[in-house]
Structure 1
Amino acid sequence: MPSRKTSSSRQAPSGLGWLALSTLTLGALLTGCSAVNVQNTLNRAVSTRGLNVAADQRYGPDARNVLDVYAPQNAQNAPVVLFVHGGSWEGGDKMGHRFVGESLARVGYVTGVMNYRLAPQNRYPAYVQDTAAALRWMRDNATRFGGGPDNLFVMGHSAGGFNAVEAVDNARWLREAGVPISAVRGVIGIAGPYSYDFRPLASRNAFPEGSTPDEVMPDRHVRPDAPPHLLLVAENDRTVYPQNALNMEAALKKAGIPVTRTVLPGLNHITIAAALARPLTSLGPTRQRVTDFIEAHRVN
């Protein structure tokens, strides 16, 4: 698919507009609206005016092997961040996370927001292989957008956090995709299910029949040369339990990999991701923790 570069003509909301939209979104979160409704509200709350946006960049042969790039203007050797959405491996879409691309591009990062093949038609490791392939595309095209090809970060929320961590920590996937591990400066997992027994749960449909946690879980696959990790946990998460991050942290430490596990108070499985949006930073420090980590590990 040919490249399509666009620049939004929408005006950025005024200060009162930000406040109104922030209040509306916060109300939606507190009244239990679906993640999709929250994402749609957040996307309406942000403008990509002044950014370079390239939509539907193809990184593989499948219909869902596409990503959107959000880049600051006049960037030079900027950090390149690949964001992987959640959705229990069976749903979710990059279009619901425009607010993430906008938010990180405003900091100065070249940000890719990707789609990947979905279960149950595409079970593990298809979506992990897609993550590695998308990272390869981001590296190969980094200079087009002012990014540094050896200044890569991978970040995911929920199931996307699993994809991000597994794609980097299991030596197989980056090797097969042709991405040198030295190019990846850090991995950020947000409320990811890195270590659990999926067999009695509905999410078993995302994994091969008859497979075991030892065969698929990222905490069993930590390579000794993995880059630093940031694991963000929502204090009130009732979807992905905090034990996942505890187990992942232990596995990384055992392998000698630098890791920071941070529990964010007052947040749940949805709000920890929503707080990445610029209008909702008052919800919690997700965005600040992410940018602090990238700034600490980027190539200057």
Structure 2
Amino acid sequence: MKKLHAALFGAILLGGLAACSPLPTLNALSPGSGLRSGSGLAYGDNVRHKLDVYSPEDASASAPVVVFFLGGNWSKGEREDYAFVGRALASRGMVAVIPDFRLHPEVSYPDFLDDSARALAWTVREIARYGGDPKRLFVMGHSSGAYNAAMMALDAQWLAKQGMQPNALRGWIGLAGPYDFLPIENPVTKPVFHFPTTPPESQPINHARAGTPPALLIAANSDKLVDPVRNTRAMAARLRAKEVAVQELYFDKVSHTTLVASLAAPLRFLAPTLDSVERFVHSDGGRITPGKTN
């Protein structure tokens, strides 16, 4: 009966999401147990160089840390809209960091990658104050945010500018990420990546190489915006060919948008997205078998 009620409530909620702004609705219905322990913290000089931190109630400077990059086609998105992600991760024993970064038309590729790396560098320096262990650092994102996460893990130049190396990351998590999208077809994306002269090095799949952090790649089978075969499946195959550990999952009851929404408490019946992220992070990217230590 509980499952039936959850499904009925979720169906009503999904219908409501189509009629209003979905992310604030999810935030309002997903109080969670994670605490926003830092709000509007500056990691740079720009007005968009701000981030929020969500800590577990019992964080003691040893919790794993997940930096989540928001989606929005590099042209929209606000960190406050993803409070439900921060609360969800914190409720499972992770410290979540959700940064804003500069968007088009203020900037274009690759400026938002510099911002992403800067947010990671801030996290390494400061996160112990919020209960997180900087040596247990993961990056995660949805859609265009998954692109940012992939580039942080795979293309060493961005972290190098901050005095870091990709092995500072214990793993990366991509939800419905675009990893191979040339030639660009989306008219919103074209100016972001300087179409038609988009450089091949802008594509995460071209940076797959040995020695990069383990990956958890999740996609919706019915994704109509980002082809899960060309992107998630192909990226997983390319990484495996380089002997990088990869876990890939495909869910049937979610779309491109509701995949990230399934992290919110009212919609978790759609897919075990949060459970999958929790297992990946707490197993240190698959390095630790449950019940054992590495």
Say yes or no: TM over 0.5: yes
What's 2:194 paired with? 208
Q: What is the aligned counterpart of 1:163 among 148, 155, 163?
A: 148
- C-alpha separation in 1, matches of 2:96 and 2:162: 19
- The answer for the alignment partner of 1:105 in structure 2 is 90
User: Counterpart of 1:229 in structure 2: which amino acid?
Assistant: A
Deviations 1:237-259 (A, max 9, x none): 10111111122112212222111
Q: State the SS of the aligned residue for 1:287.
A: helix
Q: Superposed, which structure 2 residues align to 1:48-67 within 5 Å?
A: 51-67=35-51
Local SS of the residue matching 1:297: coil
Aligned to 1:235: 221
Match of 1:96 among 67, 78, 81: 81
| 1:120 CA displacement | 2.8
The yes-or-no answer on 1:85 pairing with 2:85 is no
1:168-218 CA distance string (max 9 Å, x none): 210111111222333211100000111111434311121135433522000
Q: Secondary structure at the match of 1:168?
A: helix
Aligned to 1:262: 249
Distance in 1 (alpha carbons) for counterparts of 2:17 and 2:8? 14
Name the amino acid aligned to 1:112: V
User: Any idea what the Cα deviations from partners look like across 1:12-68, whole Å, max 9, x if unmatched?
Assistant: xxxx9xx78x8566434347617x722111110122666252101111111111110
DSSP-derived class of the 1:197 partner: coil
| CA distance in structure 2 between the aligned counterparts of 1:192 and 1:62, rounded to whole angstroms | 26
Q: 2:203 aligns with which of 217, 223, 237?
A: 217
CA-to-aligned-CA distance 1:134-174 (integer Å, 9 cap, x gap): 11111111210111111001000000000110122101111
- Of 232-241 and 180-189, deviating more is 180-189
Q: How far is 1:115 from its partner?
A: 0.7
Distance 2:13 2:33 in 1: 25
Matched, 1:38 2:22: yes
Alignment pair present for 1:253 and 2:237: no
- Corresponding residue for 1:145? 130
Q: Which of 265, 272, 280 in structure 2 is aligned with 1:285?
A: 272
| Worse overlay, 197-206 or 280-289 | 197-206
State the Cα RMSD in Å.
2.2
Aligned counterpart for 1:297 among listed residues 255, 275, 284: 284
Counterpart of 2:220, as a letter, is: A
**Does the aligned pair in 1 maintain the 2:76–2:103 contact within 8 Å?**
yes
Letter of the aligned partner of 1:152 in structure 2? L
Q: Is structure 2 residue 61 aligned with structure 1 residue 74?
A: no
SS where residue 270 of structure 1 aligns?
Answer: helix
- Of 52-61 and 267-276, deviating more is 52-61
**Secondary structure, in 3 states, of the residue corresponding to 1:143?**
helix
Amino acid aligned to 2:43:
Y
2: distance between equivalents of 1:252 and 1:213?
21
* Distance in 1 between residues matched to 2:72 and 2:93, nearest whole Å: 27
Name the counterpart of 2:212.
226
User: So what's the TM-score if we normalise by structure 2?
Assistant: 0.88
Rounded to whole Å, the distance in 1 between the matches of 2:248 and 2:32 is 31
* Aligned length in residues: 281
8 Å contact kept, 2:138–2:172: yes
Correspondence for 1:190 among 171, 175, 178: 175
Which residue of structure 2 lines up, in the alignment, with residue 116 of structure 1?
101
Q: Which runs of 5+ in 2 are unaligned?
A: none
Q: 1:124 to 1:23 in 2, by over 3 A?
A: farther
Indicate if the aligned counterparts of 1:171 and 1:223 stay in contact, CA closer than 8 A: no
Deviations 1:223-273 (A, max 9, x none): 432110011010111011111112211221222211111111121011110
Aligned-partner Cα distance in 2 for 1:210–1:174: 27
Contact 1:170 1:223 in 2 (8 A): no
Deviation at 1:279, TM superposition (A): 2.4
3-state SS, counterpart of residue 177 of structure 1: coil
For 2:255 and 2:92, locate their aligned partners in 1 and report how far apart those are by CA, in whole Å. Answer: 25
- Of the structure 1 ranges 232-241 and 172-181, higher mean CA displacement relative to structure 2 is found in 172-181
Gaps of 5+ in 1: 1-15
Instruction: Give the SS at the match of 2:171.
Output: strand
Task: Give 1:6's aligned residue.
Answer: none
Which amino acid in the other structure matches residue 58 of structure 2?
Answer: N
